[in-house]
Chain A
């Protein structure tokens, strides 16, 4: 269905009545195509902007350049094959993608993984968060013109990826979670190694704080830019740090019962009231510190025992539906798994990805902003294309 420009403008205008746009000169607008290949977009996102001078009149994100058809592919695979595929949705927060799906299947199958497996899952989950967010912390600097932080980010991420590789064999895409537990146990000495790495991660956070947070240019470019009010954030379904930076105190790890081990660690939920790009950066920075704390505490208290429940070789999940969501690094990720009781995979698996909702706010948010601010807003909303496009 093709739309005339008039229809497009009136559609977006009806959505964004609160944004204020000042027209100083009556000039012909220019259509700027940001992407799909552009250093500032985290992947292949295309934003068609209509500009008046430097101001954006309307913006229309075009996604789908990384659409691989996950929901259809998952239906054609067995349950054990699905984890191989789904840890590529959010490709930086690797392990975190598998967990809600496995928990949903475990709920349908009515099996619980042993305690050690749940603790280890939590540890890997938080390490996925660290691997994901450290890249964001460095990358946000690059988007705003500060090239140095991203080198620190890549260097310190390597330590976390090495740890994951030591356990699972893969730097990312571990494919380690199984229905009923985990694939393997930890190698010897991993615990001490991890605690040393977590200290390095905290040092990295300190470095980022020194480099970026107090920097005048960074503050000027992010404070007050891309402010999202609470009500709008809730309507669009923003989640994760994007929601907490608007003042909503909601963290699925704390607020919803889960078999994973977050309740066994002492950690805080970070919120901020400003709702602008700076708030989003700051919340994620603090969350990385909290994640490092969680990992260190859980390693210390790790219970011993089996890591896999007794499961048959052929998995036959009974008929039913289950919804499980978790606080992934990017936001709230959930799987609605419908099982038909047959021997093959899920009948229907709706994958709720956080970045899809996070980006759906762009037509509303970008109206009236300046072009350099578009880059700052994109960087601070933090999405992964695989997460938007599935």
Chain B
């Protein structure tokens, strides 16, 4: 939607969009070790059903996932696939680090082959402590994440990390005056991109 990139998103729209997004998360489980079993119990077992929260497990691939739950010990050898698969996920994406191994290295804090925490590789949104955390704890982590998503600023989220793409889009904006309106935060990528290419006052190619 052009609205979001322009930074012109009214509050009710944000609320609706965030509610829709938080109840339609597609979870990619990255089950590495023991926490994977508790994650499997949370996602696949009929008792701790995660689908009632609107979160659906088992996407076909990482490229279709919104949320990844890293559960289990991250070793240095595994760090490369984790990074690669994280980069395959499209924005907006969220990461839950489950279990103490993924949080900080856990009981293997002194090992020569363990990465002390997955946040050394990818940015983490929610940390779920435990060894292993109960399935209910993971569900609570997901609920916390949903609260975070509800309170998100859509424009900030949408344009995060994508300055190049935003600059290309906004170069074709019909009303450069409109682009300067709205919140100052969302303007920065727009202004910088347009100004650097001197296309601010050009008419759109539409």
* Chains A, B in direct contact (C-beta < 8 Å): yes
State the A residues within 8 Å of B (CB): 36-37, 43-44, 64-69, 72-73, 76, 84-85, 88, 91-92, 135, 150-151, 154-155, 157-158, 171-173, 385-386
A-B contact pairs, 15 of them (CB 8 A): A37-B30, A43-B36, A44-B78, A65-B32, A66-B32, A66-B33, A66-B75, A67-B75, A68-B113, A76-B110, A91-B33, A151-B45, A158-B41, A158-B47, A385-B33
B-side interface size class: 20 to 34
CB distance from A66 to the nearest CB of B (A): 6
**Nearest CB in chain A to that of B109: its residue:** A73
A69 to B107, CA, bound (A): 11
Q: Is residue B196 contacting chain A, with contact meaning CB distance below 8 A?
A: no
The answer to whether B85 and A43 touch across the interface, beta carbons within 8 angstroms, is: no
List of A residues within 8 angstroms of B134 by Cβ: 171
CB distance from B157 to the nearest CB of A (A): 26
State the B residues within 8 Å of A (CB): 30-34, 36-38, 40-41, 44-47, 72-73, 75, 77-78, 81, 85, 107-108, 110-114, 131-132, 134
**Nearest CB in chain A to that of B134: its residue:** A171
The answer to whether A65 and B34 touch across the interface, beta carbons within 8 angstroms, is: no
Whether A65 contacts B78 in the complex (CB less than 8 A), given A84-B107, A158-B47, A173-B132, comes out as yes
The answer to whether B34 and A173 touch across the interface, beta carbons within 8 angstroms, is: yes
The answer to whether B37 and A91 touch across the interface, beta carbons within 8 angstroms, is: yes
In the complex, besides A68-B108, A91-B33, A385-B33, 14 extra interface pairs with C-beta distance below 8 angstroms are A43-B32, A43-B33, A65-B81, A66-B33, A66-B73, A69-B108, A72-B111, A73-B111, A154-B45, A154-B46, A155-B47, A158-B47, A171-B134, A386-B33
CB distance from B194 to the nearest CB of A (A): 41
Q: Which of B41, B77, B113, B131 contacts A154 (CB 8 A)?
A: B41
List of B residues within 8 angstroms of A151 by Cβ: 44-46
The answer to whether A91 and B34 touch across the interface, beta carbons within 8 angstroms, is: yes
The answer to whether B37 and A92 touch across the interface, beta carbons within 8 angstroms, is: yes
The answer to whether B112 and A72 touch across the interface, beta carbons within 8 angstroms, is: yes
Main secondary structure of the interface of A (DSSP, over half): loop
CB distance from B126 to the nearest CB of A (A): 21
The answer to whether A172 and B110 touch across the interface, beta carbons within 8 angstroms, is: no
The answer to whether A67 and B45 touch across the interface, beta carbons within 8 angstroms, is: no
A152 to B111, CA, bound (A): 37
List of B residues within 8 angstroms of A135 by Cβ: 37
CB distance from A136 to the nearest CB of B (A): 12
List of A residues within 8 angstroms of B132 by Cβ: 171-173
The answer to whether B114 and A68 touch across the interface, beta carbons within 8 angstroms, is: yes
CB distance from A387 to the nearest CB of B (A): 11
A65 to B79, CA, bound (A): 9
The answer to whether B111 and A69 touch across the interface, beta carbons within 8 angstroms, is: yes
Q: Which of A72, A84, A172 contacts B34 (CB 8 A)?
A: A172
List of B residues within 8 angstroms of A76 by Cβ: 110
CB distance from A89 to the nearest CB of B (A): 10
Whether A69 contacts B131 in the complex (CB less than 8 A), given A92-B37, A386-B33, comes out as no
A68 to B100, CA, bound (A): 14
CB distance from A144 to the nearest CB of B (A): 16
List of B residues within 8 angstroms of A36 by Cβ: 78, 81
A-B pairs with lowest CB-CB distance, top 5:
A154-B45, A91-B34, A69-B111, A65-B78, A68-B108
Whether A386 contacts B34 in the complex (CB less than 8 A), given A171-B134, A172-B132, comes out as yes
List of B residues within 8 angstroms of A154 by Cβ: 40-41, 44-47
A30 to B36, CA, bound (A): 31
**Nearest CB in chain A to that of B112: its residue:** A69
The answer to whether A69 and B33 touch across the interface, beta carbons within 8 angstroms, is: no
CB distance from B88 to the nearest CB of A (A): 11
CB distance from B34 to the nearest CB of A (A): 4
Whether A65 contacts B77 in the complex (CB less than 8 A), given A73-B108, A154-B44, A173-B131, comes out as yes
The answer to whether B40 and A68 touch across the interface, beta carbons within 8 angstroms, is: no
Q: Which of A43, A68, A172 contacts B111 (CB 8 A)?
A: A68
A172 to B131, CA, bound (A): 9
List of B residues within 8 angstroms of A85 by Cβ: 107
A91 to B75, CA, bound (A): 17
The answer to whether A88 and B33 touch across the interface, beta carbons within 8 angstroms, is: yes
List of A residues within 8 angstroms of B108 by Cβ: 68-69, 73
A67 to B110, CA, bound (A): 13
A386 to B37, CA, bound (A): 12
List of A residues within 8 angstroms of B72 by Cβ: 66
**Nearest CB in chain B to that of A76: its residue:** B110
CB distance from A204 to the nearest CB of B (A): 14
A87 to B33, CA, bound (A): 12
List of A residues within 8 angstroms of B46 by Cβ: 151, 154-155
List of B residues within 8 angstroms of A43 by Cβ: 31-33, 36
CB distance from B92 to the nearest CB of A (A): 22
CB distance from A84 to the nearest CB of B (A): 7
List of A residues within 8 angstroms of B32 by Cβ: 43-44, 65-66, 385
A158 to B41, CA, bound (A): 9
Whether A69 contacts B113 in the complex (CB less than 8 A), given A43-B36, A172-B132, comes out as yes
